[in-house]
Amino acid sequence: MTTTFDFVIVGGGTAGLVLAARLAEDATQTICVLERGKDFTDNEDIRVPGNYMTNFGKEWDGGLLSTPQKGVADRVIYNPRGKGLGGSSLLNWLQLIRAPPAEYDAIEAVLGARGWNSQEFLKYFKKSQTLCRGELAGKTGLNPDPTLFGDGPILNTLPRFTPAINEYYYEACAALGIPFNPVGGNGDNSGVWPALAAIHPETGERVSSATAYLAPNRHKKNLTIFTEAQANRVIFDDAVKPVVAKGVEYTGPDSEISTVYAKKEVILCAGAIHTPQLLELSGIGDKRFITGISQLVDLPGVGFNFQEHLTTLSLFETDASIDSYDIMYNPNADPVVIAGHKKEYSELKSGIFSTVPLAYSYMPLSTFASPEKIQKIKQMAAAASTATTSIQSPKTLELLQKWMEDDSTYQMEYSVSFPKLDAFTDRPRWPGSSWFPHYVPILPTAEFDGAKKYFFVSAILQHPFSRGSVHTDPTNPHGNPILDMGEFENDIDREIMIEALKFVQTLAAQPSMRDRAGVRPLAPSADAKTDEQMNEYLSLAAYSSYHPLGTAAMLPREEHGVVDPDLFGLRHG
């Protein structure tokens, strides 16, 4: 068996398979991908978009629990992670949303990463994505700019099904001065709009990195894929300085330890959770977290700077006549109705199972927070320093402060989603955890009526000041790392989220929601109006959006960076 390749990629997920496919375009180069999970390409739970809520905790979810989080009453938070070819694109909710150009430009202008700006990002958005408008363009109100897309394998489609509550939500937003945006999701994310989704327009199935990039290239003789191959460490040539990666040791499906070598590069695509762990296991990082082996490179930024989109869901009851995704997860749902939905998807590739909830709105502070609270939050942000926060990079802190002062910056995302009702009657899968959908431990089962419908409005913090960390567990180095998410570690985030929850209550009180859709707040209750009540709810119900990043930051070393703009990482050791 060949053990030497030009490139060795650790991780066959959202990034790893893209790189593998692109590199394999050159037939003179050989590429090897090591993926710790299996190939789940033909799995129906993954392929069918409407099954998105059933994938957590399955074999293709290699998630882990956080440490007890002080900011949320010492709860532990479950973090799903894709484990299989396709990585977390097997688990995600399929939405395709781009940030405003100013946010991409800041990566270069403020953080100093040359060549990383909105125009360069746009080139690769166009190279990787195709807009599939079809007959749905006029039915959703969404009219994306086709010049922002190209002919890449990630297919962007419009929703084939829109639950009625979305329309009432749009009307509630309009009543508060938040208009419908027909081009939302492609940089101008103001207003409210339905997102595009990574769903194939003909088959109606999920588009993942496995289907988009690996499947068309898997036949190539210069591309080798090893599944059930758990990387143990990167092997370095430490006889030269700076050290250079030359191979990867891994454990295969039969528990046999093997090594593959790279003539050109080893590329780590193990994600924000496992990349820092693998670096530390290889002797790269802060010496406090490197145990039992020699430290090869002192790189103290490894594993720090963990960031998440802090999230809280507000739960509402609505009239039984309102179409809702929750019927798919309601244990009291009529099986004949469910069978009808499945038949519609099987025959027409439409209906509830053909898509996911896609109603979004992004807002600056001035839209959802009171003037008094805005002043307080901005004062807190301006007074922050690397000495008073866990943000180690002065440039990063400068950027967050700049965005806080700029009222065009979106600080909050709102979206409509739907619960699994058995979450409120089953015991949590992991005792003490807040694994979604077991995230609301505060409502008695008696609150739920099988004849009613239920939905969430998510409030998702966009630019958190809180930071956490990911480090190797010295008691079990090759098991899950120790994840401290730092939930509400910084009070700025808490103040913003309190205002966000209040605004959700205001949305639900608009006539389209309250009177026409029969919306009734359940959690927080309609009586919850004060900061203290909202803060209590945050402690009980806040969790994460499963968007981890930052643990191998692209920053200068003096800013606690791990890689440079050319992504050569440790060559500068």
In a domain, 487, yes or no: no
Predicted local confidence at residue 205, as pLDDT: 96
Query: Domain of 257: which CATH number?
Result: 3.50.50.60
Residue 397, classed as helix, strand or coil, is helix
Predicted local confidence at residue 315, as pLDDT: 86
pLDDT surpassing 60 at residue 548: yes
Q: Region 122-133: what's the mean pLDDT?
A: 95
In a domain, 268, yes or no: yes
In a domain, 31, yes or no: yes
Strands annotated E in 407-556: 412-417, 453-461, 469-471, 482-484, 520-523, 543-544
d(CA 116, CA 322): 45
* Length reported for the chain: 573
In a domain, 239, yes or no: yes
Identify the residue with better confidence: 447 or 310: 310
Contacts of 220 (CB under 8 A, 6+ apart): 24, 27
In a domain, 13, yes or no: yes
d(CA 223, CA 386): 45
pLDDT surpassing 90 at residue 451: no
pLDDT surpassing 80 at residue 236: yes
pLDDT band at 572 (very low <50, low <70, confident <90, very high): very low
Q: Region 215-219: what's the mean pLDDT?
A: 97
Q: Kindly report, residue by residue over 340-371, the tens digit of the pLDDT.
A: 999 999 999 988 899 888 899 999 999 999 99
In a domain, 242, yes or no: yes
* Of the listed ranges 169-178, 410-419, 493-502, 509-518, the one predicted with least confidence: 410-419
> Does a cis peptide bond (omega within 30 degrees of 0) precede residue 201?
no
In a domain, 217, yes or no: yes
Q: How many domains does the chain have?
A: 1
Predicted local confidence at residue 135, as pLDDT: 59
Q: Kindly report, residue by residue over 525-539, the tens digit of the pLDDT.
A: 889 999 999 999 999
Residue 413, classed as helix, strand or coil, is strand
Predicted local confidence at residue 435, as pLDDT: 46
> Average per-residue pLDDT in the chain?
90
Q: Which of the 8 DSSP states describes residue 206? A: B
H or E stretch covering 17: helix 16-23
Nearest 5 degrees, angle CA 51-CA 53-CA 55?
A: 80
pLDDT band at 295 (very low <50, low <70, confident <90, very high): very high
Q: Kindly report, residue by residue over 156-194, the tens digit of the pLDDT.
A: 998 888 888 999 999 999 999 999 999 999 999 999 999
Predicted local confidence at residue 431, as pLDDT: 45
Strands annotated E in 421-467: 453-461
pLDDT surpassing 80 at residue 106: yes
pLDDT surpassing 90 at residue 462: yes
Query: What domain range includes position 564?
Result: 4-42+211-305+552-572
Predicted local confidence at residue 523, as pLDDT: 87
Predicted local confidence at residue 428, as pLDDT: 47
Half-sphere exposure of 8 (CA within 13 A, CB side): 24
pLDDT surpassing 50 at residue 203: yes
Predicted local confidence at residue 565, as pLDDT: 86
Tell me the pTM.
Answer: 0.94
Q: Which of the 8 DSSP states describes residue 72? A: G
pLDDT surpassing 60 at residue 465: yes
| Sequence-separated contacts (24+) of 446-449 with Cβ below 8 Å | 447/522, 448/421, 448/424, 449/317
Predicted local confidence at residue 569, as pLDDT: 53
Q: Region 225-247: what's the mean pLDDT?
A: 92
Identify the residue with better confidence: 56 or 310: 310
Predicted local confidence at residue 107, as pLDDT: 96
Predicted local confidence at residue 441, as pLDDT: 52
Location of structure tokens 């394999």: 24
In a domain, 279, yes or no: yes
pLDDT surpassing 60 at residue 116: yes
pLDDT surpassing 50 at residue 437: no
pLDDT band at 553 (very low <50, low <70, confident <90, very high): very high
Predicted local confidence at residue 555, as pLDDT: 94
d(CA 289, CA 388): 23
pLDDT band at 322 (very low <50, low <70, confident <90, very high): confident
Identify the residue with better confidence: 333 or 339: 339
Of 332, 329, 412, 309, residue with least CA distance to 369? 412
pLDDT surpassing 90 at residue 302: yes
What does the block give as tokens for 567?
A: 């992504």
